[in-house]
Amino acid sequence: MPKRFHLGWFTNFTPGDWTSAVSTGTGGWDGRFHVDMAQAMERACFDYIMLEDTLMVSEAYRGTSEAALKHALQVPKLDPMPLAAMIGAATRHLGVVGTMSTMAYPPYMLARLAVTLDNMTGGRFGWNIVTSGEDAAAQNFGMHELPPREQRYEMADEYVEVVKQLFGSWQPGAVVMDRETGTYADFTKVRPINFEGKYFRVRGPLNTVPAPQGRPAFVQAGGSPRGRRFAATHADSIIATANGAKAMKQYREDVRAHAAAVGRNPDDVKLLYLVYPTLGETDEEARERHRRTISHPNFIEASLAAIGSITDIDFSVYDLDKPLPHLTTNGEQGSLDRFAQWGSGKTLRQLAGERFEGGIDLIGSPETVADKMAALMEEIGGDGFLISSPFQRASRRFVAEVCEGLVPALQRRGLVRTEYTGKTLRETLLEF
Ligand SMILES: Cc1cc2nc3c(=O)[nH]c(=O)nc-3n(C[C@H](O)[C@H](O)[C@H](O)COP(=O)(O)O)c2cc1C
pLDDT in the model for residue 25:
62
Mutation test of ligand 1: which of 7, 51, 52 has the most ligand atoms closer than 8 Å to its C-beta?
52
Residue 16 domain-assigned (yes or no): yes
What Rg do the C-alpha atoms of the chain give, in angstroms? Answer: 21
Range of the domain at 69: 6-282+361-429
Nearest CA to ligand 1 atom 20: 332
Mutation test of ligand 1: which of 49, 130, 388 has the most ligand atoms closer than 8 Å to its C-beta?
130
Ligand 1 pocket residue status of 241, Cβ below 6 Å: yes
From the CA of 330, how far away is ligand 1's center (Å)? 12
Are 362 and 273 in contact by the 8 Å Cβ rule? The answer is no
Average pLDDT taken over every residue of the chain: 95
Is pTM beyond 0.85 here? yes
For residue 152, give the ligand 1 atom closest to its CA.
25
pLDDT in the model for residue 26:
63
Residue 313 domain-assigned (yes or no): no
Residue 40 domain-assigned (yes or no): yes
Ligand 1 pocket residue status of 227, Cβ below 6 Å: yes
From the CA of 367, how far away is ligand 1's center (Å)? 31
State residue 112 phi and psi, 5-degree precision: -65, -45
Ligand 1 pocket residue status of 133, Cβ below 6 Å: yes
Mean local confidence (pLDDT), 294-314: 93
Residue 122 domain-assigned (yes or no): yes
The residues with which 11 forms a beta bridge, in sequence order, are 51
Residue 387 domain-assigned (yes or no): yes
Q: Indicate the pLDDT class of residue 1, thresholds 50, 70 and 90.
A: confident
pLDDT tens digits, residue range 187-212? Answer: 999 999 999 999 999 999 999 999 99
Residue 294 domain-assigned (yes or no): no
How many structural domains comprise the chain? 1
CATH of the domain at 188: 3.20.20.30
Ligand 1 pocket residue status of 118, Cβ below 6 Å: no
Residue 316 domain-assigned (yes or no): no
Ligand 1 pocket residue status of 331, Cβ below 6 Å: no
The residues with which 97 forms a beta bridge, in sequence order, are 50, 126
pLDDT at 139 over 70: yes
Residues across the chain: 432
pLDDT tens digits, residue range 253-302? Answer: 999 999 999 999 999 999 999 999 999 999 999 999 999 999 999 999 99
Residue 354 domain-assigned (yes or no): no
